[in-house]
Structure 1
Amino acid sequence: MGGARPGRYGEHDHEHYERPRRRTRPRTKERPTYDDAVEATVVTVDRGRFTLLVDGTTVTAMKARPLGRKGVVVGDRVRVVGDTSGAEGSLARIVEVAERRTVLRRTADDDDPVERVVVANADQLVIVTALADPEPRPRLIDRALVAAYDAGMKPLLCLTKADLADPETLLATYRSLGVPWLVTRKGGDLGELRSALHGRTSVLVGHSGVGKSTLVNALVPDADREIGHVNAVTGRGRHTSTSALMLALPGSPAGSPHPAGWIVDTPGIRSFGLAHVRPEDLIEAFPDLDEMTEDCPRGCTHGDDEPECGLDAAVASGEAERDRVDSFRRLLAARSEPSY
């Protein structure tokens, strides 16, 4: 009682002695230079494995540990080391990811702050929409347009199944925004679409059943993307593409090592969250409207309920068209409306 508490072990017990420490290599700030790394493009991602193109050869790779949690997505330009022969069972390592020119992002929903990069380094977003069967969803189109403008990508509205409905009703909604568009029909010629895709890296998005996979199979005959059908009761299609896939477009000039362009087929989407998009970034996609907001009060969102927005003054003076301002504000409002 009151004395020092005896230790757990006596001095002759072997547990008393200090255990040998694990030998570890000293840390160093030096990093490998990867002088032997080769450049590649990520064409698809599947459960931690990446399919790359290295000088036209298909290579399977994994992400090197030093990259940590850095994401690698379809369209990324990367540097790889290891076995890049493409032989069965071979595995290379991605050691560097180049700076991205563009990033197409979305959040799972508007109350989810976590951004998900869909595709990197694309320059055109093709929004595939059926004119009927299933019916068009303007809200989803608006959200895809916002995502394109935010990413610095050119939007293109591709209307399918024109043999079932007149496209004019839908086009009237987007004509004032200057969104380029084209129309396709079952069994029709795709020459106009091929021209719009030529020389670009284009991402195709659209909800299930709109004919996106049918277009991909027609553009790239060996793509073999599964085609779904629309449910007659719900009017919705089932998801057929389960992962984003980057495909080379045929039709390059003879002897050219480069494809005529690239398309990225994405899974059918049910929502397009836009929590990451800010009003000031969106209006920059419309330089003429952006210029009219120079005298807006600090913090103006340029929405319908702003009391002193420069857009209203521009409409009142005849400097801006009412339809164009209304269309922009519809896109602005799409950021906070339900994402489906």
Structure 2
Amino acid sequence: MTPRRTRGAIGRGTDFDSHDFGRPAKRSRPRTKDRPDYSGAETARVITVDRGRYHCRMAGGDQHPLLATKARRLGRRGVIVGDLVRVVGDTSGAEGTLARIVQVEPRRTELNRTADDTDPYERPIVANADQLVVVASLVDPPARPGMIDRVLVAGYDAGVRPVIALTKADLADPAELIALYEPIDVPIVVSRPDSDLTRLRELLAGEVTVLVGHSGVGKSTLINRLVPGAGRITGRVNDATGRGRHTSASAEALALPRFDGTGGHDPGWVIDTPGVRSFGLSHVRPATILAAFTDLAGFTVGCPRGCDHHADAPECGLDGAAARGELSMARLESFRRVLEAVDRPEEYR
């Protein structure tokens, strides 16, 4: 039999027989649908992320710190501050050791934002938070209700309990902002540089709480008072722009000291986040906001189909409830202001 003459990449005009090229060798490790079982691996909490390294604290026991990297099997899946992860390898936390994150536990909650209201991509901020503290300063920089509302919306969407913290009350009267948000039934804490933080400590005890706000509003200052030795860098506001300077480069979770005023609660965690200039809500749907205002939802049962519950919505059940005195106008207006932050962002800015 005359060998076939083939022209190809191996060499032009080369004579070879197809039998010279046997079948590819079998893989040394056959494919399988079985996946490694890491249910028995130790659990840790991610407290900060730095250039591909994950600083964690072991869950339970002495909660000693350790450094870890992400296993290749996790692919492009992100690991963020607050995640509970399974770790293998050297989990002693000794200097020079490096554990490996092999599994991310399902998240109870996930706080997200987008770059702006036209950006379709969600950016996770923290995982497994129970509470969200919106930090706003009364002056330097002045509070922006629009920003507060937008962060509240993100909190409602994530299913975390919101709290508002108003700082620098030694420089301005908080009464106007308190009156604006009291109808929403969100806890409001007011602080000065030397004020008693007992109320805030009570709210934080035993919970995982994330602090969000503009740069320069005093998040790091609050955390330094809540967690002695935290050493979070504080900054000042630019005199020309009225904006704060970023002092926290990345999110970081810090263990709270035990608070005696709450009985047997676990101390809890507080998560400091970098200051934000904007808070996009393109990932949030208006129905999420109504669901968060549980006392209002019942009044919308008789609304016309497609009612958006805004002030110009014809025959909205919320207006009827307010007219009958079953719903205060202050709370209705507060709800609609928060709703417009996501539903009509172009009018809200």
Query: TM-score, normalized by length of structure 2?
Result: 0.89
Secondary structure of 2:73's match? helix
**CA-CA distance at 1:252 after TM superposition:** 5.4
Cα distance change, pair 251–7 in 1 and its aligned pair in 2 (3 A): closer
Q: Does structure 1 retain, via aligned residues, the 8 Å contact 2:6–2:14? A: no
Check if 1:43 corresponds to 2:50: no
Q: Is the 8 A contact 1:111 1:275 kept in 2?
A: yes
2:81 alignment partner in structure 1: 74
Alignment of structure 1 residues 52-67 onto 2, 5 Å: 52-54=56-58, 55=61, 56-67=63-74
Q: Name which of structure 1's ranges 221-230 and 297-306 shifts more when overlaid on structure 2.
A: 297-306
The letter for the 1-side match of 2:21 is E
What does residue 147 of structure 1 align with? 154
Does residue 212 (structure 1) correspond to residue 216 (structure 2)? The answer is no
| Mapped partners of 2:103, 2:32: distance in 1 | 19
Match status 1:113 vs 2:116: no
- Does residue 229 in structure 1 map to residue 232 in structure 2? no
* Deviation of the 1:19 alpha carbon: 7.5
Cα pair 2:138 2:171 within 8 Å, conserved: yes
CA distances 1:193-249 after superposition (whole Å, capped 9, x unpaired) = 212211111111111111111111111121111110111121111000011100011
Contact 1:83–1:90 (CA under 8 A) maintained in structure 2: yes
Q: Is 1:181 aligned to residue 188 of structure 2? A: yes
Q: Give the distance between the partners of 1:309 and 1:5, measured in 2 at CA.
A: 82
RMSD: 2.5
Matched residues in 1 for 2:5 and 2:20: separation?
19
Which string of whole-angstrom CA distances, capped at 9 and with x for unpartnered residues, describes residues 252-293 of structure 1? 56xx99851210000011111111111111111111111111
Deviation at 1:314, TM superposition (A): 1.6
CA distance in 1, matches of 2:26, 2:46: 39
Secondary structure of residue in 2 paired with 1:142: helix
For residues 248 and 334 of structure 1, the distance between their equivalents in structure 2, rounded to whole angstroms, comes to: 33
Q: Aligned letter for 1:319?
A: E
Q: Distance in 1 between matches of 2:85 and 2:201?
A: 28
SS in 2 for 1:251: coil
TM-fit CA distance, 1:66: 2.1
Summarize deviations over 1:66-118 as a string: whole Å, max 9, x none: 22222221111111111101122211111222222121111111111111111
1:4-63 C-alpha deviation (Å, 9 max, x unpaired): 996344454699953874653321101111254101111111222211111411111122
Matches within 5 A, 1:95-134: 95-134=102-141
Q: Distance in 2 between matches of 1:70 and 1:173?
A: 40
Find 1:302's aligned residue among 309, 323, 327. 309
2:7 maps to 1:7? yes
What code does the residue aligned with 2:35 have?
A: R
Q: SS of 1:284's equivalent?
A: helix
SS at match of 2:300: coil
Gaps of 5+ in 2: none
Q: 1:35 and 1:322 mapped to 2: Cα distance? A: 52
| Structure 1 position 18 matched with structure 2 position 25 | no
Task: Give the counterpart letter for 1:37 in structure 2.
Answer: A
| Compared CA separation, residues 19 and 48, structure 1 to 2 (3 A) | farther
In the alignment, the residues of structure 2 paired with residue 222 and residue 198 of structure 1 have an alpha-carbon distance, to the nearest angstrom, of 18
Matched-pair contact (CA < 8 Å) for 2:130–2:209:
yes
Q: Distance in 2 between matches of 1:127 and 1:47?
A: 27
Q: Which amino acid is 1:69 matched to? A: R
Using the TM superposition, give the Cα deviation of residue 187 of structure 1 relative to its aligned residue in structure 2, in angstroms. 2.2
CA distance in 1, matches of 2:51, 2:17: 48
Q: Contact 2:205–2:259 at 8 Å: present in 1 too?
A: no
The one of 174, 177, 181 equivalent to 1:170 is: 177
Of 61-70 and 330-339, more deviation after overlay is shown by: 330-339
CA–CA separation in structure 2 for the residues paired with 1:215 and 1:6: 76
Q: How far 1:298 moved relative to its partner? A: 3.0
Note if contact 1:10-1:16 (Cα within 8 Å) is conserved in structure 2.
no
Q: 2:274 aligns with which of 260, 267, 281?
A: 267
Per-residue deviation, 1:328: 0.5
Counterpart residue identity of residue 7, structure 1? R
Q: Secondary structure at the match of 1:88?
A: coil
My pick for the range that moved more, 176-185 or 67-76, is 67-76
Paired AA for residue 345 in structure 2: E
Matched, 1:334 2:327: no
For normalisation by structure 1, the TM-score amounts to 0.91
Q: Which of 35, 38, 48 does residue 34 from structure 1 map onto?
A: 38
How far, CA to CA, are the matches of 1:304 and 1:191 in structure 2?
Answer: 39
